[in-house]
Amino acid sequence: SFECRSIFVTMYCDTRSTITLIFVDVDGVLNVAVADPGKSSLSLDPKNVMIALKKMRKKSTCDSARRISATYFHDLDHGEIGPIGMFSNHDSVGICNEFARRLAGLMRIAGKCTVVLSSSWRVPRHDSRVRRLEDMVSLHFGAPFTFSDRTAFAPEHGPGDRLALIGDYMAGFCARRRVHHLRALVLDDFFVTPMGGWKCDGLEMDSVWSAERYLMGRVPAPTTAEVCILHTYEEFVTPGGLIVQIGAGLTSRHLCKGLKFFNALCPHCVRCSREEITEVSVGEKTPETRCPPQSRRFSFTQTFQSFSASCLEVAERGFASRDG
pTM: 0.81
Q: Which amino acid is at 52?
A: A
Q: How confident is the model at residue 58 (pLDDT cuts 50, 70, 90)?
A: confident
- What's the average model confidence in pLDDT over 266-291? 57
| Pairwise pLDDT comparison (279 vs 217), residue with the higher score | 217
Q: How confident is the model at residue 151 (pLDDT cuts 50, 70, 90)?
A: very high
Residues 13-50 have pLDDT tens digits of 444 579 999 999 999 999 999 999 989 999 999 999 99
For the chain, helix (H) and strand (E) counts, in that order, are 9, 15
Q: How confident is the model at residue 322 (pLDDT cuts 50, 70, 90)?
A: low
Tell me the C-alpha distance between 127 and 130, whole Å.
5
Q: What is the pLDDT of residue 235?
A: 97
Tell me the C-alpha distance between 208 and 128, whole Å.
32
Q: What is the pLDDT of residue 68?
A: 96
Q: Which amino acid is at 128?
A: S
Give the Cβ contact number of residue 258 at 10 Å.
24
Read out DSSP for 7-33?
A: S-EE-----TTEEEEEEE--TTTTS-E
Tell me the C-alpha distance between 132 and 137, whole Å.
9
DSSP letter, residue 313:
G
Q: How confident is the model at residue 299 (pLDDT cuts 50, 70, 90)?
A: very low
| Pairwise pLDDT comparison (162 vs 322), residue with the higher score | 162
Q: What is the pLDDT of residue 257?
A: 96
The mean pLDDT value of the chain amounts to: 83
Q: What is the pLDDT of residue 117?
A: 98
Tell me the C-alpha distance between 219 and 251, whole Å.
29
| Pairwise pLDDT comparison (51 vs 89), residue with the higher score | 51
Residues 69-87 have pLDDT tens digits of 999 999 999 989 999 999 9
Q: Residues near 183 by Cβ (< 8 Å), separated by ≥ 6?
A: 18, 19, 20, 21, 110, 225, 226, 227, 261
- Bridge partners for 9 per DSSP: 265
- Report domain extents, the chain: 18-35+95-266
Per-residue pLDDT for 297 more than 50? no
DSSP-based three-state secondary structure for 10 = strand
Q: How confident is the model at residue 178 (pLDDT cuts 50, 70, 90)?
A: confident
Contact in structure between 28 and 247 (CB atoms under 8 Å)? yes
Tell me the C-alpha distance between 147 and 137, whole Å.
10
Per-residue pLDDT for 158 more than 50? yes
Per-residue pLDDT for 301 more than 50? no
Closest CA to 9 of 269, 202, 215: 269
Q: What is the pLDDT of residue 45?
A: 92
